[in-house]
Structure 1
Amino acid sequence: MTLLSMLIALIVERLAVRGRGWQLVTYLQPYLRFCSSGSVGSIRQQPYFLFVGWLLPAVVIALLIYSVQFWLFQLVLNTVVLLLCIGSWHYRQQYKQFLNACQRDDEQAAFLCMHQMRQAQGAPELTYGPQLIWLNFRYYAAVLFWYALLGAFGAVAYACLRQLAEPMTYQHSSDLPAEDTAAVADAAAPEVETPAVAADSAPVSAGWRLFADDLLHWADWLPVRLFGLGLALVGDFSRTSAVLLQHAGAMQMSAPQLLTELSQAAEPVPEELLNSREAAVSAVALAKRNVLFFLALVAVLTLSGWLS
């Protein structure tokens, strides 16, 4: 069922999913507002509050799926949960606008689109290729890894942690880009701005983001190395495997930094083309091949009985 849920979710997300309704952040925002309100009382001051608040949605979802005995309903619930966890329509819109700007040779508009993605994700400033590979890792590869390992609980727990680390999560829902109109409209001049985080939510977002950033370093540690192994197999094996072995035991090295070195080794790009459309498209193709490798790995593990 694990492999089947993954395949269905990725196909549906690619072909049919549209709008904010299929993004986890849409449902996490009201939950965070509730956790930040006076309704929870003095429990907000407890040291374990952030940890419990982070895991509670994953526990509830896991119990709900576990309580359903019919396999078909379980498959549907798992697929829907996985769709929400990998939903990234906001970034898809901005990527399309980025490609549109590159096709017009509008470097300023292309840079603006990439800058908006960095701001919304709270990601470090990387060149175009590694930036998109990092986004693919956070929304696809890492979620699929934790789903394969811990089921819906793992996927929701990681996706919630990812969203807690993103500045976009703390924007008001009404400030987020329109769901379908921006994708259909001509992206000649990118109009999707990344709004500033509301002033009254700054203390709340700071606490959640600090908590999430600390945990994400360890939540990404193993998946990013498995992702690197995939990059070695679908890219330049000798160069990528050398980088992977060099940093295999680096406990403090950040995941974006490691992924940048791995992606540049897997598919080297001349320095003058690092911030070009060609580098971005090549990186996305590399990341897609890597996801296919991961699915093949899950299929092998499923057939061998390691996964159900």
Structure 2
Amino acid sequence: MALFSLLIAILVERLKVLPANLQFDHLLGLYHRNLFRDEQIKSAGMMALALLLPALALYLLSWIVAGLFWGAFSLMLWVAVAVLCFTHKAQRDAFKRYVQAACRGDTQACYHYAGQLECSDCLDAVDPCELANRVGQSVAWTNYRYYGAVALYFILAGPIGAVLYCTVRYYSEEKLKRKLELPLVDELLFLLDWIPARLFAFGFVLCGEFSKSIEVWRKLVMQPGCSAREIIVQTAMAAEPQSCEQNDSISLQPTIAMLALSKRNFILLVCVLSLATIFGVVS
């Protein structure tokens, strides 16, 4: 079911048929506003409950529908969860506007939209070339955070693992955007990213310049405290060296190069999942 659900989710995400009010982050926003308040989740107990409740509810629902109609309900549940977890309309829209601004030579608009691309340091870029390189790095990181990590958790831990990861990711982003003091979130997200980031970064090694990137990857994975973003970005940069001309306009070359590398990596992940399904390793 993992392979089938993953392919359906990718198709739906590419066709962009899911309305904004059914995006996973939008649904989690409703969940947070109706069941919790910002003041409540400042305590570790309530924060833990907010993080675990969606996954626990899904576990209960999976147990209820297990075996009904020869597994048809379970399959529909897997597909529905996969479709919801792969949605990230806000990031797609910001990236589209960034590319459009770069094509028309609007540097100020590029800086504005780059700040919305999970690129916290993009606004500190001192020139268009540096901004282009940082956006390229942000593309690799966003691809991991919204595609690679979700897919890996869906494959290894099923819908429950994917929902848990997306829930923790949502609260981590809310903490950064709204400058909230939330316990447990960063620590749990670090743990959840620890293995998937290293696996996904190794995909960059296989899809890019092997000799350079394997040295960077091997060095970083030996550091237990290394952040997931550093592993992803540094390995991706080594696998696909970035370059752009020093001028007054924004170059899309680093962005396109990282986007192509990320797509190759995700295709590799799907191919590995297909082989694992054929040989019975993944159900």
The answer to whether the superposition gives a TM-score over 0.5 is: yes
Q: Secondary structure at the match of 2:116?
A: helix
> Which residue in the other structure is 1:108 paired with?
108
Q: Secondary structure at the match of 1:305?
A: coil
User: Are the equivalent residues in 2 in contact too, given 1:18–1:89 (CA < 8 A)?
Assistant: no
Q: Secondary structure at the match of 1:299?
A: helix
> Which residue in the other structure is 1:98 paired with?
98
Q: Among 121, 126, 129, which residue is 1:125 paired with?
A: 121
> Which residue in the other structure is 1:162 paired with?
169
Q: Is 1:60 matched up with 2:54?
A: no
Q: Secondary structure at the match of 2:105?
A: coil
Q: Is 1:306 matched up with 2:281?
A: yes
- Aligned Cα root-mean-square deviation (Å): 2.3
> Which residue in the other structure is 1:174 paired with?
none
> Which residue in the other structure is 1:184 paired with?
none
Match for 2:195: what amino acid? L
Q: Secondary structure at the match of 2:242?
A: coil
Q: Among 173, 185, 188, which residue is 1:212 paired with?
A: 185
Distance in 1 (alpha carbons) for counterparts of 2:202 and 2:75: 29
Match for 1:279: what amino acid? P
Q: Among 262, 266, 279, which residue is 2:235 paired with?
A: 262
User: Are the equivalent residues in 2 in contact too, given 1:231–1:262 (CA < 8 A)?
Assistant: yes
Q: Secondary structure at the match of 1:116?
A: coil
Q: Secondary structure at the match of 1:268?
A: coil
Query: If the length of structure 1 is used for normalisation, what is the TM-score?
Result: 0.80
Q: Secondary structure at the match of 1:206?
A: coil
Distance in 2 (alpha carbons) for counterparts of 1:230 and 1:47: 35
Match for 2:22: what amino acid? W
Q: Among 237, 256, 259, which residue is 1:281 paired with?
A: 256
Query: How many residue pairs end up in the alignment?
Result: 266
Q: Secondary structure at the match of 2:115?
A: helix
Aligned in 2, Cα 1:31/1:242: closer, same or farther, shift over 3 Å? same
Aligned in 2, Cα 1:17/1:206: closer, same or farther, shift over 3 Å? farther
> Which residue in the other structure is 2:155 paired with?
148
> Which residue in the other structure is 1:17 paired with?
17
Distance in 1 (alpha carbons) for counterparts of 2:266 and 2:22: 20
> Which residue in the other structure is 1:230 paired with?
203
> Which residue in the other structure is 1:290 paired with?
265
- Shift, 1:263, TM fit: 0.8
- Shift, 1:211, TM fit: 2.4
Distance in 1 (alpha carbons) for counterparts of 2:201 and 2:44: 35
Q: Secondary structure at the match of 1:117?
A: coil
Aligned in 2, Cα 1:37/1:232: closer, same or farther, shift over 3 Å? closer
User: Are the equivalent residues in 1 in contact too, given 2:20–2:89 (CA < 8 A)?
Assistant: yes
Distance in 1 (alpha carbons) for counterparts of 2:142 and 2:100: 19
User: Runs of 5+ in structure 2 lacking a partner?
Assistant: 123-133
Q: Secondary structure at the match of 2:181?
A: helix
User: Runs of 5+ in structure 1 lacking a partner?
Assistant: 171-195
User: Are the equivalent residues in 1 in contact too, given 2:44–2:184 (CA < 8 A)?
Assistant: no
- Shift, 1:132, TM fit: 1.1
Distance in 1 (alpha carbons) for counterparts of 2:27 and 2:216: 39
Distance in 2 (alpha carbons) for counterparts of 1:21 and 1:290: 30
User: Are the equivalent residues in 2 in contact too, given 1:23–1:89 (CA < 8 A)?
Assistant: yes
Identity of aligned residues (%): 32
Q: Secondary structure at the match of 1:97?
A: helix
- Shift, 1:22, TM fit: 3.1
C-alpha distance after superposition, 1:106-137 (max 9, x if no partner):
1221121111233xxxx542501110111111
Aligned in 2, Cα 1:95/1:258: closer, same or farther, shift over 3 Å? same
Match for 1:50: what amino acid? M
